[in-house]
């Protein structure tokens, strides 16, 4: 096994619970530096710290999997971790078969994401260590879930940082064009092969229920609606009307199908458009909404993009606040890790000033608990969902 020794004092963060070692923290490496190979980690004095996967191409050179010596090249090791992760999800959601089954570092399987959609699994292999063990992982997942099919949604840019190509591959069984998932008593079609992320977004299921107490009789605007989960929930919870906006014609078609599937198509309209431009035209038309939902894609992919992305968050939230009727509610989200919670609140305060609206914060929420946050690993907390009221 490869042996990695850290520079003096570079073990502090790892001892504090963070599972990563960066390349500039390493003093020496002994052994063949094969991408993804198993490695043992030692402090500057030669004390054993744990074992994990090594990535020579990445700034994140080592990902910790165990603080004890372990064989990282057997399926049983991964199956045991996956069983523990599944047990927790079934404790949280005993009646659900769609959930995030493995959430990387938070489940002590860094570089691996597994989303369960009933009898099918959609996974992401985000590190060299997980990618080179794909067959081990398939074996482990089949042992734990016995799925009808497993698809790898490795079409994500972060893989380039590991020297890995982007690809979508069916790893076992079959994957139908669409599968169905149930959330809060509603049914949604999910495209596992070409949909965003792993096919659907599973992190807002708790937050969707925020609409239950505020939508009755209201006109609702759902910006960046994707396949319509927010809008369909709003309609099902008694909204007078729902207008959903998304730039993807395919997503709009899915949203329309999901509205029909749940019997709320009569109250919903989904438009393919540039949400930024449509927000401006709605303001010019004098439209007002009792509820506005703002759940855009991640504007911030890296720290370098933070300034420009902040402008985007500021613009869409200012326009959203301008469209709110008196007493109206804005549910606004950021799924960008680099846009911190306090920074996001500051953006919203600035947006309120620019919109000349008095706004109060009603509630702050995060990702669903099947996306647990590892306390020593702040990177595992990314979703901010704030409920604001214009008064």
Domain ranges of the chain: 2-66, 75-176, 203-390
| Dihedral-angle region of residue 38 (phi above 0 means left; psi in -120 to 50 means alpha; beta otherwise) | beta
| Distance (Å, whole) CA 217 – CA 16 | 50
Structure tokens at 25: 């923290």
* CA–CA dist 251, 241 (Å, integer): 19
Give the pLDDT of residue 338. 86
Specify the pLDDT at position 298. Answer: 80
- Cα separation, 148 vs 167, whole angstroms: 21
pLDDT reported for residue 301: 66
Domain 75-176 is found in CATH 3.30.750.80? yes
pLDDT at res. 43: 98
Q: Which of 215, 335, 365, 385 is catalytic?
A: 335
Q: What is the pLDDT along the chain (391 residues), one digit of tens a residue?
A: 899 999 999 999 999 999 999 999 999 999 999 999 999 999 999 999 999 999 999 999 999 999 999 999 999 999 999 999 999 999 999 999 999 999 999 999 999 999 999 999 999 999 999 999 999 999 999 999 999 999 999 999 999 999 999 999 999 999 999 999 999 999 999 999 999 999 999 999 999 999 999 999 999 999 999 999 999 999 999 999 999 999 999 999 999 999 999 999 999 999 999 999 999 999 999 999 999 999 998 876 667 778 887 898 999 999 999 999 999 999 999 998 888 999 999 999 999 999 999 999 999 999 999 999 999 999 999 999 999 999 9
Dist. CA 239–CA 81, nearest whole Å: 42
Can 335 be counted among the known catalytic residues?
yes
pLDDT of residue 303: 72
- Predicted local distance difference test score (pLDDT) of residue 297: 86
CATH, domain range 203-390 = 3.40.50.150
What number of residues does the chain have?
Answer: 391
Round to whole Å and give the CA distance between 25 and 387. 41
Tell me which residue of 168, 172, 181, 234 sits closest to 207, measured CA to CA: 234
For residues 121 and 145, the answer to whether their CB atoms sit within 8 Å is yes
> According to the model, what pLDDT value does residue 300 have?
64
Give me the pLDDT at residue 87, please.
Answer: 98
Nearest Cα to Cα of residue 96 among 176, 184, 189, 175? 184
H or E element, residue 70:
none
CB-based contact 26:41 (threshold 8 Å)? no
Q: What is the CATH number of domain 2-66?
A: 2.30.130.10
């Amino acid at each position: 096994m490869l042996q990695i020794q850290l520079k003096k004092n570079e073990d502090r963060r790892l001892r504090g619970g963070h599972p990563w070692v960066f390349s500039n923290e390493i003093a020496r490496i002994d052994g063949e530096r094969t991408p993804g190979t198993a490695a043992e980690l030692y402090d500057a004095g030669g004390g054993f710290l744990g074992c994990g996967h090594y990535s020579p191409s990445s700034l994140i050179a080592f990902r910790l999997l165990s603080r004890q010596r372990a064989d990282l090249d057997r399926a049983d090791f991964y199956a045991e971790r996956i069983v523990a992760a599944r047990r927790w999800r079934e404790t949280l959601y005993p009646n659900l078969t769609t959930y995030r089954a493995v959430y990387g570092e938070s489940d002590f399987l860094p570089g691996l994401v597994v989303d369960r959609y009933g009898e099918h699994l959609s996974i992401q292999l985000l590190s060299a260590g997980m990618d080179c063990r794909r067959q081990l992982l398939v074996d482990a997942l089949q042992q734990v879930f016995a799925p009808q099919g497993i698809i790898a949604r490795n079409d994500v840019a972060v893989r380039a940082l590991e020297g890995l190509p982007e690809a979508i591959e069916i790893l076992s069984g079959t994957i139908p064009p669409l599968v169905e998932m149930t959330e809060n008593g509603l049914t949604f079609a999910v495209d596992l092969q070409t949909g965003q992320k792993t096919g659907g977004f599973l992190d807002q299921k708790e937050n969707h229920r925020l609409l239950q107490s505020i939508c009755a009789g209201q006109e609702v605007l759902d910006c960046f609606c994707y396949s319509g989960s927010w809008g369909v929930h709003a309609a099902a919870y008694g909204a007078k009307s729902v207008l959903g906006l998304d730039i993807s014609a395919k997503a709009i078609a899915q949203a329309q199908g999901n509205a029909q599937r749940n019997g709320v198509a009569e109250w919903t309209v989904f438009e393919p458009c540039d949400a930024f431009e449509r927000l401006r035209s709605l303001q010019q038309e004098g439209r007002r909404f009792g509820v506005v939902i703002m759940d855009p894609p991640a504007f911030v992919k890296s720290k370098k993009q933070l300034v420009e992305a902040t402008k985007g968050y500021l613009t869409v939230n200012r326009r959203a606040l301008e469209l709110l009727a008196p007493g109206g509610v804005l549910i606004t989200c950021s799924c960008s890790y680099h846009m911190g919670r306090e920074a996001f609140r500051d953006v919203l305060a600035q947006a309120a000033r620019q919109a000349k609206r008095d706004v109060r914060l009603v509630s702050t929420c995060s990702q669903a608990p099947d996306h647990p946050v590892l306390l020593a690993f702040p990177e595992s907390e990314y979703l901010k969902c704030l409920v604001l009221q214009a008064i």
